[in-house]
Structure 1
Amino acid sequence: MYRTITALVKQVQSKNSTLPMSEDGVISTAPKQQSFDDQRRTELFLKDQIPLPLAYGGYFVVAAVSIVTLPHIFPQLKWYYILVAYLFAPVLAFCNAYGCGLTDWSLASTYGKLAIFTIGAWAGAAHGGVLAGLAACGVMMSIVSTASDLMQDFKTGYLTLASPRSMFVSQVIGTAMGCVIAPCVFWLFYKAFPIATPDSEYPAPYALVYRNIAILGVEGVRSLPRHCLTLCC
């Protein structure tokens, strides 16, 4: 996060500056002119922007819905855990989108693990910290991954002269459909096959990995096997 903020500050400071360019051995400080295609793309992309009140209002509405509904689904995940997650999520989502734009690699799962450790340790073992951490991981990953995916879509829209507002509306519609389709598909597999068992066709190894991460976040290093830290050192 520190490196991301530092890079942004340097970029803003040098936004209006000009760097010397060499053409045939002659140094020139004139800024490089954009091509007609780039000018057209920039003009169209900035013309159809998403209104800031709509963006802020949508985020507050989604946060309110999550705060109200998720504690009923996961009683261990208290409403104030979700509130804290939504307060810190925009910063982490920005860092993930910025890093994904530079490296084409989303670290949404890493930020989700951060939520597991934070919320799990906050809740504690006596208050269902394992389930609370795993549920908070799902909340954080959905926010962070959506931000990076939308930025990638905006880049594609910029190159293809697509309307960013139309792409945003499509993203909202697709996300709303996923809220219904994804649980139905999971429930279908859950009822049709023995999931997360060693002899199953769908052993779900990541479920075991994330469960152990949550246990580690709640119980600390004492939950690790004996001499584990010694081997790591």
Structure 2
Amino acid sequence: FPGSVPGLQGYKVFIAIAMIVGDGLYNFVKVLSLTTIGLSHQFRQKDVSSDLPTVGHSSDHVSSQVSYDDKRRTQLFLRDQIPAWFSTGGYVAFAAISTATLPHIFHQLKWYYILVMYIFAPILAFCNAYGNGLIDWSLVSMYGKLAIFIIGAWSGASHGGVLVGLAASGVMMNIVSTASDLMMDFKTGHLTLASPRSMFVSQLIGTTMGCIISHCVFWLFYKAFDDIGLPGSQYPAPNAVVYRNMASLGVEGISSLPRNCLLLCYVFFGAAILINFIRDLAGKKWRQFIPLPMAMAIPFYIGSYFAIDMCVGSLILFVWEKINKAKADAFGPAVASGLICGDGIWTLPASILALAGVKPPICMKFLSRGTNITVDNFLTPQG
């Protein structure tokens, strides 16, 4: 088969991509529709601005519906706003810096690609932030995939379109995700009586720290694990392969796909949309029994270990709910956060041990029956 992902690997990658894109596209349209409906509803209410409990202004109508605590939170939050000239000027300054510097890092990424992304990014960032506030679902990855296909195809294969698409995806995702995260921080500040300026400064400090810490973490992983990013390794980095092949598909077209792979992609793409549509139509009682396409697509590519972890966690939560549903609902997210945090933190000592050349005393592997028989025959002494 032609292309960089021949054979079974090509089917695994692109079928997973088709399900991810189908799921993301459905939810993108869904969130965009909810955003449009919400905005049009607000614009139709012409007197909504006069009912907002802003500083120095209140109304009897709002006083009868909004509690005193909420009124005080809103008054304190609006008292310390960020000037519009500062946010606009900051965005223009960062856009200018990115447009000037990124082409020197990625030579194939031309300055006008970055400028176009910064022109359209505020619209996408607003839609994502507003939609995330409505349904608590950020579609940052979908905007990144959109940038991969559009900018990568615009550049073309002869001008490094794959690298251009991946770099453009990173730029777009950082712009859109930062806006959404900042709005969530503002919501937290509103609930905790923190000023918008303090929340903005806190995220600015955190982003600056991330620019340094993320590079150190990447260097630590890169030096500690020689096989990082390879299929079947301890850290296979499946998203890297998925995004890289998305860029290849957008630049090279369907000629890089294995035989009949495009037909299967169409089928699974439509299945992902259909499953989401059925989930939305089904009631709350039956929705929990319908799987998420994204949850099926990720283990389909990276393997069973991810699905086993999720299955064990879901089983624990299911048994806990049967024993004491109130405590499970109250403490379930905290327990899940602890397990995720513990698993993530362990990578730091694991990296240090790997850099020191320490090998685990016991190695466990789960093999297929045929491979296991071959290994047993090899280990069994002959004669």
TM-score, shorter chain, exceeding 0.5: yes
Give me the whole-angstrom Cα distance separating, in 1, the residues matched to 2:166 and 2:252: 14
Unpaired segments ≥5 residues, structure 1? 18-29
| CA deviation after TM superposition for structure 1 residue 39, in Å | 0.9
Superposition pairs for residues 170-189 of structure 1, below 5 Å? 170-189=202-221
Offset from partner CA, 1:126-165 (integer Å, 9 cap, x none): 0000000000100011111111111111111111111111
Match of 1:226, SS state, is coil
Residue 14 of structure 1 aligns to which amino acid in structure 2? Q
**What secondary structure, in the 3-state scheme, does the structure 2 residue paired with 1:70 have?**
helix
Instruction: Tell me whether 1:229 sits opposite 2:262 in the alignment.
Output: yes
Contact persistence 1:193–1:200 (CA under 8 A): no
One-letter amino acid of the structure 2 residue matched with residue 114 of structure 1: L
What's the offset of the Cα at 1:221? 2.4
1:104-143 mapped onto 2 (5 Å cutoff) = 104-143=136-175
Aligned residues of 2:153 and 2:250 also touching (Cα < 8 A): yes
Provide Cα deviations, 1:92-113, integer angstroms capped at 9, x if missing partner: 1111111111111111000000
Aligned to 1:148: 180
CA distance in 2, matches of 1:15, 1:222: 54
Cα RMSD, aligned residues only: 1.6
- Match for 1:205 among 222, 233, 238? 238
Separation in 2, partners of 1:15, 1:106 = 29
**Aligned match of 1:12:** 43
For 1:201 and 1:225, locate their aligned partners in 2 and report how far apart those are by CA, in whole Å: 27
CA shift, 1:5, in A, is 3.3
Q: In structure 2, what residue type is equivalent to 1:209?
A: V
Report the counterpart of residue 217 of structure 1 in structure 2: 250
Q: Which amino acid aligns with 2:166?
A: L
Instruction: Report how far residue 4 of structure 1 moved.
Output: 2.5
Letter of the 2:241 counterpart: L
Per mean C-alpha deviation after superposition, the further-off stretch among 32-41 and 72-81 is 32-41
Counterpart in the other structure of 2:222: 190
Q: Which amino acid aligns with 1:12?
A: F
Deviation of 1:199 (Å): 4.3
Which secondary structure does the structure 2 equivalent of 1:100 belong to? Answer: helix
What secondary structure, in the 3-state scheme, does the structure 2 residue paired with 1:105 have? coil
Deviation at 1:37, TM superposition (A): 0.7
Preserved CA contact (<8 Å) 2:34 2:131: no
**Cα distance between partner residues in 2 of 1:230 and 1:114:** 22
Gap change, CA 1:3 and 1:220, over 3 Å in 2: farther
Letter of the 1:9 partner, please give it: S
- Structure with higher Rg: it is 2
Does the 8 Å contact 1:197/1:203 carry over to 2? yes
The aligned residue for residue 95 of structure 1 is 127
Per the alignment, residue 102 of structure 2 pairs with 70
Distance across 1 between alignment mates of 2:46 and 2:210: 39
What one-letter code is carried by the residue in structure 1 that aligns with 2:38? A
> Residues of 2 paired with 1:54 and 1:112: CA distance?
27
> Does the 8 Å CA contact 2:80/2:196 hold for their aligned counterparts?
yes
Written as runs of structure 1 = structure 2, the 5 A alignment for 1:36-51 is 36-51=68-83
Q: Which has the higher contact order (CA 8 A, sep 6+)?
A: 2
Alignment partner, residue 22 of structure 1: none
Q: Deviations over 1:209-232 (max 9, x none)?
A: 110110011112232222223333
TM-score of the superposed pair, with normalisation by structure 2: 0.55
Distance change >3 Å, CA 2–CA 104, structure 1 → 2? closer
Where structure 2 has 5 or more consecutive residues not aligned to the other structure, the ranges are 1-31, 49-60, 268-383
How many pairs align? 221
More moved, 53-62 vs 185-194: 185-194
